[in-house]
């Protein structure tokens, strides 16, 4: 279920832009002069593009002004947070380095077999232990 929420949150602004573009193509052509700018916004900055369209519709004929820029800045922050969150999570994917480049995946190394567990050797009786002598060993 959390994955479904993340997918919905990631694609919701893009879906809203597509639906808005299909339902009101004249408004989209009024807001943007070319096809390239909304397409780039759709791919890279979907929250900002959607917010720009919504603010442009509700603004005065002069365009975006005043407090509208704060809402647009918030949308930019949301887009940057989305991109930075995706970049920082690349290390969680097996085979991806934290720099974003594909890292070679080393084959798993087999560990050597563990030594059998044995009980420690019994201590020698106290009488059998001889103290060391100060004499030199006999020469051969």
Task: Identify the three-state secondary structure at position 92.
Answer: helix
Q: What is the mean pLDDT of residues 113-133?
A: 65
Q: Is residue 25 part of a domain?
A: yes
Q: Is residue 74 part of a domain?
A: yes
Using left for φ > 0, alpha for ψ between -120 and 50, and beta otherwise, residue 8 falls in: alpha
The answer to whether residue 38 is domain-embedded is yes
Please give the model's pTM, rounded to 2 decimal places: 0.59
Over the stretch 89-104, which tens digit does the pLDDT of each residue have? 766 767 666 555 555 5
CA atoms 16, 22, 24, 26: torsion sign = positive
Tell me whether residue 135 is in a domain: no
**For residue range 78-92, what is the model confidence (pLDDT) as tens digits?**
989 887 877 777 667
* pLDDT tens sequence across 27-41: 888 888 888 999 999
Q: Radius of gyration of the chain from Cα atoms? A: 35
Q: Provide the number of structural domains found in the chain.
A: 1
End-to-end alpha carbon distance in the chain: 85
Expressed as residue numbers, the domain containing 17 is 2-86
In a domain, 27, yes or no: yes
H helical segments located in the chain = 2-23, 25-31, 36-44, 46-58, 68-88
| Residue position matching structure tokens 């603010």 | 55
Query: What is the predicted pLDDT for the residue at 137?
Result: 64
Q: Is residue 81 part of a domain?
A: yes
Domain for residue 11, yes or no?
A: yes
Question: Any residues with CB less than 8 A from the CB of 18 and at least 6 apart, and which?
Answer: 42
Dist CA 34 CA 52 (whole Å): 15
Residue 73's pLDDT band, with cuts at 50, 70 and 90, is very high
Residue 30 in any domain: the answer is yes
């Amino acid at each position: 279920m959390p994955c479904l929420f993340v997918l919905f949150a990631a694609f919701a602004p893009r879906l809203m832009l597509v639906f808005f573009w299909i339902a009101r193509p004249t408004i989209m052509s009024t807001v943007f002069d070319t096809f390239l700018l909304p397409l780039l916004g759709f791919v890279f900055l979907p929250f900002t593009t959607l917010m720009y369209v919504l603010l442009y519709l509700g603004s005065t004929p002069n365009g975006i002004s005043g407090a509208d820029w704060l809402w647009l800045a918030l949308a930019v922050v949301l887009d940057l947070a989305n991109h930075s969150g995706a970049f920082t999570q690349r290390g969680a994917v097996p085979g991806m380095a934290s720099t974003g480049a594909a890292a070679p995946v080393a084959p798993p190394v087999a560990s050597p077999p563990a030594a059998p567990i044995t009980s420690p050797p019994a201590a020698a009786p106290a009488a059998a232990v001889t103290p060391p002598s100060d004499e030199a060993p006999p020469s051969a």
